[in-house]
Structure 1
Amino acid sequence: MKTSIIGYPRVGSLRELKFASEKYFKGEITASELHRTGAELRAAHWKIQQENRIDYIPSNDFSFYDGLLDTACLLNIVPQRYQALGLSPLETYFAMARGYQGEQGDVKALAMKKWFNTNYHYMVPEIDDSASIRLTGTKLFDEFLEAKQQNIVTKPVLIGAFTLLKLARYTGAKQAEDFVSEAAEAYVNVLKKLNELGAEWIQLDEPQLVTDLSKEDLVLFSKLYARILPAKGNVKVLVQTYFGDVRDGYRELQGLPFDGIGIDFVEGKKSLDLVRQYGFADDKVLFAGVVNGKNIWKNKYKNTLALIGELQGLAKQLVIGSSCSLLHVPYSLKHESKLSADNKSHFSFAEEKLREFAELKAMLDYADPYATETYIHNETLFNGSRYTVNEAVQARTSALTDADFTRLPAFAEREAVQKAKFNLPPLPTTTIGSFPQTADVRANRFSFKKGAVSEEQYKQFNFDKIAECVALQEEIGLDVLVHGEYERNDMVEYFGESLDGFIFTEYAWVQSYGTRCVKPPIVWGDISRSKPMTVEYSAYAKSLTDKPVKGMLTGPVTILNWSFPREDISLKTSALQIALAIREEVLDLEANRIEIIQIDEAALREKLPLRKSDWQAEYLSWAIPAFRLVHSGVQADTQIHTHMCYSQFSDIIRDIDAMDADVITFEASRSDLAIIDAINECGFQTEVGPGVYDIHSPRIPSVDELKQGLNRMLDKIDVAKLWVNPDCGLKTRGVNETWASLRHLVQAAKEVRATL
C-alpha cells in the first residue's frame, strides 16, 4: 500500500516562517535571509515525510503567504497596479497580499476570502480584460528541483485551472469562459516543463469540484482538461479534490484521461456510495482520503481499515492519503510539555498523522492487520473514556424551548428605544473591539502566566492600558468606545480558557492567513461558565467615560468553529452549551451597566456546508438559533452588535438578518462593498457597519478615500442605518498606523455628516 499527503503545514513547528516574514516586512532581515528560512522549512518537511515512508511527498505546497496567490504569480495574473510599482518579484507578491504604501505608490491588497469550509483565508486572484494568463514564474519548478537535490522525488502541487478560474474575481466584461484557451495553454506549459525536469506526478488541486456544479461548470471543467491532458507526456496527472464529495462531476472525472483521482472519504458523505454505484476506472489510481486532515484526534484504525478493505475491492489501484492538506492542523505534539499523557494519547497533529500513515501501511502488510499490536493498542485507546461530563449542562441544554431563542420586543420597537436612549449622531463611529497587542502587552501576559508578576500587577497594567485607550478614543472623537482587549491573547482562546470543558496547548498553531496563526482550544467535555469573564475590564472602561462602551464577547458558533470539537456529540449540542455560557456573561454585562454588547460571529460561515441543499438541515437550523439564545434575555434598550469578517455573506444574508442583532458590522473593504447590494435586495432590517478600511494591510487610508467609501454606502444605505468602522479588530496592527487611520475615519465621518 502506498501513501500520499495532499499538503503539509508551512509555518514550522515553532512558527519560524511567521517570525522571519514579519522581520522581513520590518526591514530587519533581507529577502535572501527570508528565502533561507523557507528552504530550511521545506527541507525539514520533506525529510519528516520521507522518514515516515510517505510515497507521494508534495512540493510547492509551501508558500510565503498563500498558495492561490502563488498560482496567480506563477501564471502572470498580476494586476497592472502592482506591476506599476516597479518592485522586485517578492515585494510585488507581498504588495498583492498586504497592500503597499510607500515611495513607489499606494495600492490596496487583493481581496481575501475563506478557503471553502476552513478558517484558512486565500487571496482572490484578480483578472481584468487585459490580463494575459501564461506561465512566467518558476517557483513550482524551483522547489521540485530543490527537493530532487536532496534525493527526494516529489509530487509538485498546483491549484487546478478550474478552481483558479472559478475563484478569481473578474473586473471587466470577460469572465472565466473567455480565458479557457490561455489558461489551458499555461497549464500545458507547466506539464511540458515538468516533463523536461523528470517529474513523475503532478497534483492539480480542484476543490471547487465538491461544490454545487452547474452544467456550465462541468462544460468549463471538461473544456479545460480536454486541452491540458493531451500534453501530459510522461508526467502522470492527479486531480485532487477535498472538503466533500464529487457527486456532480464523478462520471466526468472517470471519463477524462487523468492518471489519478483524489477523493475525500472523510467529509465526502457520498464518496463511498459514488464508487460503489459507478465503479472506479481500472486505468486510474484512486488516491483515497481516509485520514482526517482537519481534526486533531487520533485515527480509529478499525474504521479506516474497514474502509480501505472495501475500497481495495472497488478500485484496482489504490493509494491512501489525507482527506485534505494537513495545513489545517497544528504541526507537532513534540513541544507540548503541559498536556497530560492521557490528553496527548488521544491527539494526532500533522507530524503524528504521518506516523499514522506509517502504521496503517505496516498493518496492511500483515495478512490480518487486526491482530497486530498497533491495532490492539489503538482499539484499547478508543474503548476508554476521554470526555468530561457535566450532567447539569446536559440537562439545561435539553430543557431549552422555543421561547429561549426569541428576543422581545421585535426589532423595530427596540431600534426606536435605542435611538432615543443613546442619541448618537448620524454615521456613529466605533471600532470592532481589539487594539494593537504591542510588545509590552504581550510581555505582561507572558510574565503573568509564568508567575513573574502577581495578578494585581498584571491587572493594574491592563487597567492602565485601558485608561490610555479610552482617553485616546475620546480625544479623536469616536462615538462608541471599547476597552481594547489587552487581556486577551485571542478572541476564541481567551474565552476557552475562561470556560470549563476546554483544554489548551502551548504550540498547536494553525495558519489562518499569511503570518496570522491561531491556537484553537480543544473541546474536552461539556461546556459551562463558572465565573464572569469580561465584566471587570468592561466595567472599568465604562467608569472612565460618559460615552457608551461596548462589552466585547465572542459568539458560540465562532468559539466552536475555531476550536477542535468533540467527536462524540453533535456540533449543535456543543454550540448550545457554549451559547448558554455566553448568555450568562451577556446578562452580567447588562447588570453592570454595559448597554452595548458586541457578540462576534466572525466564523459563522465556516462550517456552512459547501452544498446549498445541506445549509438549513445541517447547519443554519442550529447556528442562527444558537446566536439568538445568547442575547434573547436582554432588555429592549440594550443594543446587541455582532461582527463578521472575510467570508461571502450575500447568499446567507436573510439568515444573518434572522440573528436578530441590532447592529451588524461586516468586512467590506476588500470585497468592494459587494455586501451592500445583497443587504438592499433582501430588505435587511438590522443596522449595518460595512468596514470602510482594510485592517489586514499596514497602509493608512486617506480622509478622501474614506469619504468616497462612505458616500458610496450612503447611495444605497439609509443614513439612519449606517455605522462607520474599520472592517475588523486592530490587534495585529501597529500603534501609529492604527491611530492615524482612526483619526482619518472620524474626520471623514464628520465631513460627510456636515453634508447631510
Structure 2
Amino acid sequence: MLKNNLGFPRIGNQRQLKRACEKYWSGKISESELLETGKTIRLTNWQLQKEHGIDLIPSNDFSFYDQVLDHSLMFGTIPERFKDLNKTDLYFAMARGYQSENQNIKACEMTKWFDTNYHYIVPEFQAFQTFHLNDTKVIDEFIEAQNAGILTKPVLIGPITYLLLGKVKNADFNALSLIDRLLPVYLELLNKLHKAGAEYVQIDEPFLGLDLNFFQKETYRTVYHKIKNELPDLKIILSTYFEGIEDNALAALNLPVDTLHIDLKRAPDQLDNILSKIGPHLKLSLGIIDGRNIWKTDYQNAIQFVQKAVNQLGEERVMIAPSCSLIHVPVDLENETTIDPEIKDWLAFATQKLIELNEIATILAEPNSPLLARNTVSITKRSTSTRIHKPEVKKRSLEISDKELKRNAIFAERKNLQKSHLKLPDFPTTTIGSFPQTKEIRTLRANLKKGIITAENYEAEIKRHTAEVIKWQEELGLDVLVHGEFERNDMVEYFGELLEGFVFSANGWVQSYGSRCVKPPIIFGDIERLKAMTVAWSSYAQSLSAKPMKGMLTGPQTILQWSFVRDDQPRHETLIQLAFAVRDEVADLEKAGLKIIQIDEAALREGLPLKKADQDAYWNHAIKAFKIASAVAQPETQIHTHMCYSQFKGIMDKLADMDADVITIETCRSQMELLESFQDFQYPNEIGPGVYDIHSPTIPSVLEIEQSLEKALKVIPEGNLWVNPDCGLKTRAWPETEASLKNMVQAAQNLRLRNLN
C-alpha cells in the first residue's frame, strides 16, 4: 500500500528559511546564499521522507514565500507594474512591495488560504490576460531531487483552483473564462515533467470541496479530459482537502485521473458516499492523518477507514496519506524539550505524522504488530486524563443568560456618551496595538526565560520601553494611544500562557506568510482565567498619559483559530470557554479605568466554514462569543475590534450584529475596494479602514494616505471614520514605522483642516 505525502513544512526545522529571507532582504547575504539555503532545506526534507518510508514524496512544495505566488511567476501572471524588475526582486516585490528613489510599487493583495492562517499572494488577472511558461521551478526541483537519488511527485495547484484563487482587475469577467489560455501552459509543463521522468503528478484542486455551480463542474470535466488526452500515461493524483466533496462527488469521481485524494479528517462521512459511486479503475488516497492539527492519530479509528476501502477496492487501489499538506503543523516534536511529558505523548508534528503513516502501513500488513497496542495506550491515557475537564468551567458555559449577550445601550446612545467622555477630534488617529519588537526586546524576553535577568529587571526594562513609546506617540500627535505590547511574545500565545487549559511548544513554528512564522498554543483542556492578564500593563500605560489608552485583548474566535485546538469536544464549546475568559478581562480593564478596549478578532472571517450550509451555525457561535466577551462593558466604554485580510461581501449583517463601537479592517492592498461592502450595507458603526499596508516595508506618502481617506469618505460618514494602519506594527522596523505614522497623522490633520474650511 503506497504511502502518499501531500507536502512538508518548508521553513526548516530551525526556521532557516525565515532567517535567510530576512538576511537577504536586509542585504546581509547574497542571492546565491539564499538559494543555497532553499536547496539545503529541500534536500533535507526529501531525505527525511525517504528515510521514513514515504513512497510518494512531494516536490515543488517548497517556496521562498508562497506557492500561489510561485505559480503566478511560473505562468507569467505578473502585473504590469512589476515588469521592469529583475527576477528575484520581482518575486519578492509582488509579495512585499518595492520602494526605491524613483519607484514605489504596491504589493499584490494577500489573503487567507481557504480557512487556514496561511496567507497567499492573490493572482491578478486582466481581461486580456495571457499565460506562458515563464519559470521552470517545478521542473528544476524535480530534477534536483532526481540527482539526489529521490524520485519525487511534483505538486501543482490545479488550473481551476488557481484561477478561482485570483482576482480580476479593471474589468468585470469570470476568471474561469481564462481557462482556455491557461490550460495549454499546464499541458506544456506536464509534458516537460513527464519527459523528465515524473511518474506521478499531484494536482491540488481544493475547490472541489466547495459549493460549485454547473459551469464550474463542467470546466473540471473539460480540463481533465484534455489533460488525459494529451498525457495518457502520466498518473495524476487529484487532491482535495479542507472539506468533503459530497456535493461534487460524481463530478470528481468521473474525472479521468489515476487517483483521487480525499480528506477524511475534515469530512469522515464522505467515504461511504464515494465508495458507493466510484468507478472500476480510480484509486483512492485516504487522508487519515490530520495535516492541520497536532494530536496523535488514533490508529484503530484510521485503520477502519482503510479497511473499509480495501474491502471494496482491493489494496492496490488504496493509498494512505495525511489529510492535506503538513505545512500547517510544526516540523518535529523531537525539537521539544519543555512540553509536559504526559501531554507530549498525545502529540504528533509533521515528522511524527510521517512515522504514523509508516506504522499504520505496518499494522495493516502485520495485524499483530505491537505498534497498535502502543498507540492505543497513548490514546486511552489522553481520553482518561483528569487534567482535561473542569466541571465548574463547563457549567458556566452552559448557563448563559440573554443579559450576558447585550450591551446596556444601543450604539447611537453609546456613541454620544463616548464622544462626551473621550473628547476625540474628527478623524481620530490610532494604531492597531503592537509596535516593533526589536532585537533588544526579544533578547530581554530570552534572558528572562534563561534566568540571566530577574523578573524585576525584565519588568523595569519593559516599563521603560512602554513609557518611551507613549511619550513618542504623544509627540507624534496620535489621538488614541497603545502601550506597544512589548511584554507580549504573540497576540495569542501571550493570553494562552495566562489561561488554564493551554500548553506551549518551544519550537513549534508554523509559516503564516513569507518569513512570518507563528507558534500556535495547544489547547488540551477546559479553559479558565484565574487572574487578570493585561490589567497591570494597561493601567500603567494609562497612568503615563492624559490621552485615552486602548486596552488590548485578543478575541475568543481568534485565540481558537490560531491555536491547535483539542479535538475531543466540539470547537464551539471551547470557544465559549474562551469568551468568558475574555469577558472577565474586559470587566477588570474597565474597573481599572480603561475607556477604550480593543478585542481583536483578526481571524473571524478565516474560521468561516467553506460550505454555505455550515456557515449559519458558525456565525451563531462566533457572534455569541464576541457578545459574551464585550457586552459586559458599560455604554461609555468604547469597544473596538480588528479584522485581518477578509472578504466582507455577504457577511456585513454579521459584523453589524457583533455591535462593536469601532471596527478596524485591512483594506490597503485592495486599494480600499473592500469598503464597497460597507457602502452597500451602510454599516452603522464607526470604521477604521487601514490606510497603509504594514506587511510591506514601503513607506506611504502623505498624499497616498490622503487619497485613501478620500476614497473612504465616499463610503463612510465623516463622524464614523478613524485613521489607522491596517494591522499591528510588531513585524516592522522602527524607522519605517516612525516615518509611516508621521505621514498618517499629517494626512489626518490635513483632512481636519480641509473640513474646517
Superposition TM-score tier, normalisation by shorter sequence: over 0.9
Distance in 1 separating the partners of 2:221 and 2:669? 32
Distance in 2 separating the partners of 1:314 and 1:608? 35
1:194 and 1:235 in contact (8 A); partners too: no
Cα shift readout 1:79-135 (whole Å, capped 9, x = no counterpart): 111112x32x11110000100001462111110111001111110011123432121
Distance in 2 separating the partners of 1:469 and 1:740? 15
Distance in 1 separating the partners of 2:253 and 2:232? 19
Q: What is the aligned-residue RMSD (CA, Å)? A: 1.3
Cα shift readout 1:25-81 (whole Å, capped 9, x = no counterpart): 000001110111111110110011101111110000000000000011011001111
Aligned partner of 1:132 in structure 2 is 130
Aligned partner of 1:492 in structure 2 is 492
Distance in 2 separating the partners of 1:733 and 1:669? 16
The CA deviation at 1:378 is 1.2
Letter matched to residue 592 of structure 1: A
Q: How does 1:288-367 map to 2 (within 5 A)?
A: 288-316=286-314, 317-366=317-366
Aligned partner of 2:168 in structure 1 is 170
Distance in 2 separating the partners of 1:184 and 1:104? 37
2:208 and 2:252 in contact (8 A); partners too: no
The CA deviation at 1:672 is 2.6
Letter matched to residue 39 of structure 2: A
Structure 2 gap ranges (5+): none
The CA deviation at 1:202 is 0.8
Aligned partner of 2:422 in structure 1 is 422
Letter matched to residue 198 of structure 2: A
Please say which of residues 703-712 and 332-341 is displaced more in the overlay: 332-341
Helix, strand or coil for the counterpart of 1:502? strand
Aligned partner of 2:45 in structure 1 is 45
Distance in 1 separating the partners of 2:283 and 2:433? 50
Helix, strand or coil for the counterpart of 2:335? coil
Distance in 1 separating the partners of 2:298 and 2:485? 40
Cα shift readout 1:457-493 (whole Å, capped 9, x = no counterpart): 1111111111111111111111100000000000000
Please say which of residues 177-186 and 72-81 is displaced more in the overlay: 177-186
Aligned partner of 1:91 in structure 2 is 89
Please say which of residues 63-72 and 228-237 is displaced more in the overlay: 228-237
Distance in 2 separating the partners of 1:172 and 1:531? 53
2:260 and 2:284 in contact (8 A); partners too: yes
The CA deviation at 1:222 is 2.6
Helix, strand or coil for the counterpart of 2:287? strand
Letter matched to residue 492 of structure 1: V
Aligned partner of 1:182 in structure 2 is 181
1:180 and 1:223 in contact (8 A); partners too: no
Please say which of residues 24-33 and 673-682 is displaced more in the overlay: 673-682
Cα shift readout 1:656-701 (whole Å, capped 9, x = no counterpart): 1111110000111112323212112223122111111100000000
Q: How does 1:605-684 map to 2 (within 5 A)?
A: 605-617=605-617, 619-684=618-683
Letter matched to residue 628 of structure 1: K
The CA deviation at 1:607 is 2.4
Aligned partner of 2:106 in structure 1 is 108
The CA deviation at 1:270 is 4.4
Match 1:372 to one of 369, 372, 378: 369
2:167 and 2:175 in contact (8 A); partners too: no
1:17 and 1:37 in contact (8 A); partners too: yes
2:678 and 2:715 in contact (8 A); partners too: no
Aligned partner of 2:578 in structure 1 is 578
Letter matched to residue 255 of structure 1: N
Cα shift readout 1:528-583 (whole Å, capped 9, x = no counterpart): 11211111111111111111110000011111111111122221111111111111
The CA deviation at 1:233 is 4.3
The CA deviation at 1:225 is 2.6
Helix, strand or coil for the counterpart of 1:297? coil
Q: How does 1:220-259 map to 2 (within 5 A)?
A: 220-259=219-258
Letter matched to residue 583 of structure 1: R
Aligned partner of 1:598 in structure 2 is 598
Q: How does 1:537-552 map to 2 (within 5 A)?
A: 537-552=537-552
Letter matched to residue 564 of structure 1: F
Letter matched to residue 376 of structure 2: E
Helix, strand or coil for the counterpart of 1:63? coil
Helix, strand or coil for the counterpart of 2:224? helix
Aligned partner of 1:17 in structure 2 is 17
1:698 and 1:733 in contact (8 A); partners too: yes
Q: TM-score scaled by structure 1?
A: 0.97
Distance in 1 separating the partners of 2:100 and 2:551? 37
2:702 and 2:747 in contact (8 A); partners too: yes
Identity over aligned pairs, percent: 45
Helix, strand or coil for the counterpart of 1:501? strand
2:239 and 2:261 in contact (8 A); partners too: yes
Aligned partner of 1:381 in structure 2 is 378
Helix, strand or coil for the counterpart of 2:497? helix
Letter matched to residue 377 of structure 2: T
Letter matched to residue 380 of structure 1: V
Cα shift readout 1:158-209 (whole Å, capped 9, x = no counterpart): 1110001111111133432431211110111011101220110111111111
2:240 and 2:262 in contact (8 A); partners too: yes
Helix, strand or coil for the counterpart of 1:4? coil
2:164 and 2:176 in contact (8 A); partners too: no
Aligned partner of 2:265 in structure 1 is 266
1:199 aligns with 2:198: yes
Aligned partner of 1:31 in structure 2 is 31
1:191 and 1:231 in contact (8 A); partners too: no
Letter matched to residue 154 of structure 1: T
Residues 392 and 253 (structure 1), Cα distance of their counterparts in 2 relative to 1, 3 Å cut: closer
Distance in 1 separating the partners of 2:176 and 2:293? 37
1:411 and 1:662 in contact (8 A); partners too: yes
Distance in 1 separating the partners of 2:393 and 2:430? 36
1:406 and 1:632 in contact (8 A); partners too: yes
1:723 aligns with 2:722: yes
Letter matched to residue 221 of structure 1: Y
Cα shift readout 1:339-398 (whole Å, capped 9, x = no counterpart): 1322211100000000001101111112xx2x3211111112222224432222122222
1:185 and 1:228 in contact (8 A); partners too: no
Q: How does 1:452-463 map to 2 (within 5 A)?
A: 452-463=452-463
Distance in 2 separating the partners of 1:178 and 1:606? 27
Match 2:156 to one of 141, 145, 158: 158
Letter matched to residue 62 of structure 1: F
Question: How many residues in Structure 1 have an aligned counterpart in Structure 2?
Answer: 749
2:243 and 2:263 in contact (8 A); partners too: yes
Distance in 1 separating the partners of 2:261 and 2:661? 45
Structure 1 gap ranges (5+): none
Please say which of residues 114-123 and 335-344 is displaced more in the overlay: 335-344
2:160 and 2:179 in contact (8 A); partners too: no
1:293 and 1:329 in contact (8 A); partners too: yes
Aligned partner of 1:216 in structure 2 is 215
Distance in 1 separating the partners of 2:228 and 2:25? 40
Distance in 2 separating the partners of 1:291 and 1:32? 37
1:275 and 1:314 in contact (8 A); partners too: no
Distance in 2 separating the partners of 1:597 and 1:341? 38
Helix, strand or coil for the counterpart of 1:156? strand
The CA deviation at 1:399 is 1.8
The CA deviation at 1:441 is 0.6
1:155 and 1:199 in contact (8 A); partners too: yes
Distance in 2 separating the partners of 1:282 and 1:141? 32
2:362 and 2:369 in contact (8 A); partners too: no
Helix, strand or coil for the counterpart of 1:334? helix
